[in-house]
Structure 1
């Protein structure tokens, strides 16, 4: 029984890794070359079980490396929420003061609360580097990421809302240390995050 569960977990991880790889390729396909084919999000939700992201121990350290690792974790919770509609981890990782976080949560909830869904919209972090440290309480992290194209569907499968994929997008993420660890306090970006 334990061996079966381990095999199922390995299969689920392989499916998730393949999906993330396709997400990265989808971002590259839309990099501005109009002659290359566009990869569209699937019109039907995946049947693969998506597992919640785990926070690595480094992301719980109160230092520059911990801030960068936590920021990567936050984007993993964002991808998970987009795929599943479950925003619990994303909310826990986000400060109430973060307007970009609230907007992301609202977009996800608006699409799932009536029985609809989102397809695509997965994030792949290329780089996350802490560049400002305010007494180990607030840190700024420069992030470069790819996002696969995202489309919403109504409960009846009617397309609604679309966000193009993005390659090499940049944003600055401010994280704040709290009694429970890091939380995203704000995101500055020229591009729409969700």
Structure 2
């Protein structure tokens, strides 16, 4: 957990020095609640739509894929629907891979969206702002570390998405700062 906190703190410090807007990355710790042998989620038919509803359905699908990766350590689907340059996506993927490679595990903590607002563009990037609710869960960083409880929480996130040949792809994810 200290490693994760240090990583996030270092990234925030680096961002503060670049002169770019103050955007904090969400904590990628929450995980999924399905069984470790569960199959990856399938997108709803609405995900294929090039519309505000399709954009929201894609964000919901991305969170389900992230929940699956958190539970199983299988990040293939999450990588396929995340842009290579998506730093927030990469942090989640790296975290899940590191935990499972070290013999750790994540349980519970499934994330869902509510109260969405969509800034849709048919020709470029679209933005979905959403309340993301995480259920309480457990994390074990390594096979020899203790299991820690993770509390339920809600955060406001912005998902920057765009259309690719294969459909929607997540370009970036960021925590919405309250004024």
Return the TM-score normalized by structure 1. Answer: 0.66
Unaligned runs of at least 5 residues, structure 2: 1-29
TM-score by length of 2: 0.71
Indicate the structure (1 or 2) with the bigger Cα radius of gyration: 1
Query: C-alpha separation between the residues in 1 aligned to 2:150 and 2:86?
Result: 21
> Does residue 1:187 correspond to 2:170, yes or no?
no
1:62 maps to what in 2? Answer: 50
Give distance in 1, aligned partners of 2:109 and 2:49: 29
Instruction: Specify the SS of the correspondent of 1:70.
Output: helix
SS state at 2:103 partner? coil
2:72 corresponds to: 84
Deviation at 1:162, TM superposition (A): 6.3
Pick closer, same or farther for the CA change 1:47–1:99 going to 2, 3 Å: closer
- Residue 47 of structure 1 and its aligned partner are, at CA, apart by 5.8
**C-alpha displacement of 1:161:** 6.8
Q: SS at the partner of 1:144?
A: strand
RMSD of aligned C-alpha atoms? 2.5
Q: Please tell me whether residue 142 in structure 1 is matched to residue 115 in structure 2.
A: no
Report if the CA contact (8 A) 1:123-1:145 is conserved: yes
8 Å Cα contact 1:151-1:159 kept in structure 2: no
CA distance in structure 2 between the partners assigned to 1:48 and 1:93 by the alignment: 21
Q: Is the 8 A contact 1:62 1:136 kept in 2?
A: no
Q: How far is 1:112 from its partner?
A: 0.3
Q: Would the alpha carbon gap of residues 47 and 92 (structure 1) be closer, same or farther in structure 2, given more than 3 Å must change?
A: closer
The aligned residue for residue 63 of structure 2 is 75
Inter-partner Cα distance in structure 1 for 2:107 and 2:174? 25
Q: In the aligned structure 1, how far is the partner of 2:89 from the partner of 2:72?
A: 17
Query: For residues 185 and 47 of structure 1, what CA distance do their matches in structure 2 show?
Result: 28
1:118 Cα deviation after fit: 1.4
* Residue aligned with 1:159, SS: coil
Deviations 1:87-142 (A, max 9, x none): 11111111112111000001111100122211222112223331x22343310001
Deviation for aligned residue 1:64: 1.3
Structure 1 residue 182: Cα displacement: 0.4
Partner of 1:13: none
Query: Contact 1:71–1:141 at 8 Å: present in 2 too?
Result: yes
Displacement of 1:165 in angstroms is: 2.5
The DSSP-based 3-state class of the residue aligned with 1:175 is: strand
Out of 160, 164, 175, the position equivalent to 1:174 is: 160
Cα distance in 2 for partners of 1:46, 1:189 equals 25
Q: Which residue of 2 aligns with 1:93?
A: 81
